[in-house]
């Protein structure tokens, strides 16, 4: 009786071990993307005027991830910009990269980081894809909603 129990226990332990191994394989396969995005939107005025794009990027990983560029078919050329307050006069500068520390986020917003959409071909109410390129992570495609000059999305 004692002997049979211990064999059963060994068998159970082996089965549980096998199930845990399967479970961990499942978890590894379902690992979340290192970067996620929320609240993507463009402020669109008209075709001849560059549109500003705004988004929040979240680094959900344990390492610094660096944004190196952005592209969007509906922008023609798209660039990373930052507005800087130069003693009262707003000025925009090109941004070549943005390092996002582990478990932190970077917010693109009016008066700060933005995407400069140089030749916008879009319509208010549409949603268009924007692709973010990173040095240390795969490309991320983010839906951007188009708002008009007088519209403002809910604050993220």
Indicate the pairing of strand 113-117 with strand 51-59. Answer: antiparallel
Task: Return residues touching Cu ion (CB under 5 A).
Answer: 81, 92, 116
Nearer to Cu ion, 15 or 93 (CB): 93
The nearest distance, CB 93 to Cu ion, in angstroms, is 9
Nearer to Cu ion, 92 or 98 (CB): 92
The nearest distance, CB 116 to Cu ion, in angstroms, is 4
Nearer to Cu ion, 8 or 77 (CB): 77
Q: Contact at 8 Å (CB) between 67 and 114?
A: no
CA 42/CA 129 separation, integer angstroms: 11
Number of other residues whose CB lies within 10 A of the CB of residue 54: 21
Nearer to Cu ion, 34 or 54 (CB): 54
The nearest distance, CB 79 to Cu ion, in angstroms, is 7
Task: Tell me the residue nearest to Cu ion as measured from the CB.
Answer: 81
- H/E stretch holding 10: helix 2-29
The nearest distance, CB 115 to Cu ion, in angstroms, is 8
From 135, 142, 6, select the one nearest 71 (Cα to Cα). 142
């Amino acid at each position: 009786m004692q002997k049979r129990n211990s064999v059963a226990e060994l068998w159970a332990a082996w089965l549980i071990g096998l199930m845990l191994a399967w479970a961990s394989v499942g978890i590894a396969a379902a690992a979340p993307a290192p970067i996620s995005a929320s609240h993507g939107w463009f402020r669109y005025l008209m075709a001849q005027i560059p549109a500003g794009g705004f988004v929040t990027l979240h680094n959900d990983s344990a390492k610094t991830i660096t944004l190196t560029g952005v592209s969007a078919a509906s922008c023609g050329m798209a660039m990373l910009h930052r507005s800087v307050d130069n003693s009262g006069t707003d000025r925009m500068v090109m941004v070549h990269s943005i390092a996002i520390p582990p478990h932190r986020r970077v917010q693109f917003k009016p008066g700060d980081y933005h995407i400069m959409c140089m030749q916008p071909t879009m319509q208010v109410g549409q949603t268009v894809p924007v692709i973010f390129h990173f040095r240390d992570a795969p490309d991320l495609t983010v839906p951007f909603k188009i708002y008009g000059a007088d519209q403002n999305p809910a604050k993220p």
